[in-house]
């Protein structure tokens, strides 16, 4: 069965510093995709970044990068130069491509607080 | 921009009531989803639909049903609401088909069942 684990219920970081949010996954699918979403207090889920299991390079999107270590089954999100507006819940999610390919499995989330 | 809208941001219902949560997307997406979100559990899939009139059970379908009569609209139905269905409900859509297709989410409905 597929599973996503986020071991940090809460994190805090000083403004302008970098922070890493951990995510490990478990799957027997040879092909899969990993997503990170941000959920501010308003409630809407915002897509941040995607990594395919066969992508050779780590994904980057602006201040977000994904530290993908396939052998360790980890897909940590790195936020550089944190801003106050980065305070939110962050969810890691995985999609498998064998059967039920449309479904995402989510982790429990990490609440990030950015301090001035 | 993709727009996914949900009929209510906040809803309060009584035990035993029939509850309808509506979701509409404006980007002609094939696939639509209903999740519930609870603290410490993340998002859990209730039902999804990959075409009009088609539906598939997710991980926690018990106590829920869905309807998709039109491509843009996906409804979640609580036949007889119970207090353990108090939760945040999120609707999402995706064009599907491509590996990196993200799901686009609505703003959520926070349902309280008294």
pLDDT of B19 over the 60 cut = yes
Q: Would the CB atoms of B106 and A42 count as touching at under 8 Å?
A: no
DSSP code of residue A16: T
A9: contact with B, CB 8 A cutoff: yes
pLDDT in tens, A89-101: 999 999 876 555 5
Euclidean distance between CA atoms A103 and A97, whole angstroms:
9
pLDDT of B1 over the 90 cut = no
**Confidence at residue B35, expressed as pLDDT on a 0 to 100 scale:** 96
Mean pLDDT of A22-33: 91
Q: Would the CB atoms of B40 and A31 count as touching at under 8 Å?
A: no
**Confidence at residue A31, expressed as pLDDT on a 0 to 100 scale:** 84
Q: Would the CB atoms of B48 and A102 count as touching at under 8 Å?
A: yes
Report chain B residues whose CB lies below 8 A from the CB of A103. 45, 48, 58
**Confidence at residue A95, expressed as pLDDT on a 0 to 100 scale:** 87
- Check: CB of residue A80 under 8 Å from CB of residue A65: yes
pLDDT in tens, A64-89: 999 999 999 999 999 999 999 999 99
- Check: CB of residue A79 under 8 Å from CB of residue A86: yes
B99: contact with A, CB 8 A cutoff: yes
- More confident position, B32 or B101: B32
**Confidence at residue B111, expressed as pLDDT on a 0 to 100 scale:** 97
Q: Is residue B46 very low, low, confident or very high in pLDDT (cuts 50, 70, 90)?
A: very high
**Confidence at residue A67, expressed as pLDDT on a 0 to 100 scale:** 96
Tokens at residue B44, please?
Answer: 């859990």
Alpha-helical regions (H) of B1-114? none
**Least confident range of A30-34, A94-98, A107-111, B35-39:** A94-98
Q: Would the CB atoms of B31 and A109 count as touching at under 8 Å?
A: no
- Residues in chain A, total: 116
DSSP β-ladder status, B19-25 and B10-13? unpaired
**Confidence at residue A100, expressed as pLDDT on a 0 to 100 scale:** 55
- More confident position, A16 or B97: A16
């Amino acid at each position: 069965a597929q599973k996503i684990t986020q071991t940090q219920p809460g994190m805090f970081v000083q403004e302008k510093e970098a922070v890493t949010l951990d995510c490990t996954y478990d799957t027997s699918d040879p092909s899969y995709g990993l997503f990170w979403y941000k959920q501010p207090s308003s409630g809407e889920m915002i897509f941040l970044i995607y990594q395919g299991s066969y992508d050779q390079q780590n994904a980057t999107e602006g201040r977000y990068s994904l530290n993908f270590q396939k052998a360790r089954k980890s897909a940590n999100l790195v936020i550089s130069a944190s801003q106050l507006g980065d305070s939110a819940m962050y969810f890691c999610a995985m999609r498998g491509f064998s059967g039920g390919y449309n479904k995402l499995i989510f982790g429990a989330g990490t609440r990030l607080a950015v301090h001035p | 921009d993709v727009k996914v809208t949900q009929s209510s941001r906040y809803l309060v219902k009584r035990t035993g009531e029939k509850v309808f949560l509506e979701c509409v997307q404006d980007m002609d997406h094939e696939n639509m989803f209903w999740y519930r979100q609870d603290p410490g559990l993340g998002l859990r899939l209730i039902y999804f639909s990959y075409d009009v009139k088609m539906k598939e059970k997710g991980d926690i379908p018990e106590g829920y049903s869905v309807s998709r009569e039109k491509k843009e609209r996906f409804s979640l139905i609580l036949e007889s609401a119970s207090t353990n269905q108090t939760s945040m409900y999120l609707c999402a859509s995706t064009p599907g088909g491509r590996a990196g297709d993200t799901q686009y989410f609505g703003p959520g409905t926070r349902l309280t069942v008294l």
